[in-house]
Amino acid sequence: MKDEGEQRTAPRVDVGPVTEDDVEGVVQLAAEVWWRHYPGIISAAQIEYMLRQRYDPAVLRAELRCKDLWWDKLVVGDLMVAFAAYFPVDDGRAIKLDKLYVHPGHQRTGYGGILIARVCECALTRGCSRITLAVNKNNASAIAAYLKHGFRVADSVVTDIGGGFVMDDYIMDRCIYRD
CA angle 82, 36, 13 (to 5 degrees): 20
Q: What mean pLDDT value characterizes the chain? A: 93
pTM (predicted TM-score): 0.91
**pLDDT reported for residue 179:** 64
Q: What are phi and psi of 149, to 5 degrees?
A: -95, 20
More confident residue, 10 or 85: 85
* Spatial separation of the C-alpha atoms in residues 74 and 52, rounded to whole Å: 23
Order the strands of the 79-89 sheet from edge to edge. Answer: 13-17, 70-76, 79-89, 94-102, 130-136, 165-175, 152-162
C-alpha 30: how far from chain center: 10
**What is the rounded average pLDDT of the residues 94-115?**
94
Residue 11: band (very low, low, confident or very high) from pLDDT cuts 50, 70, 90: confident
Instruction: Give tens-digit pLDDT for 140-160.
Output: 999 999 999 999 999 999 999
Instruction: Give tens-digit pLDDT for 78-95.
Output: 999 999 999 999 999 999
**pLDDT reported for residue 177:** 82
**pLDDT reported for residue 6:** 58
* Spatial separation of the C-alpha atoms in residues 71 and 87, rounded to whole Å: 9
Cβ-based neighbours of 9, under 8 Å, separated by 6 or more: none
**What is the rounded average pLDDT of the residues 121-136?**
95
- Length of the chain measured in residues: 179
C-alpha 168: how far from chain center: 18
- 13-175: CATH topology is Aminopeptidase (3.40.630)
Q: Beta-carbon neighbour count of residue 129 at 10 Å?
A: 15
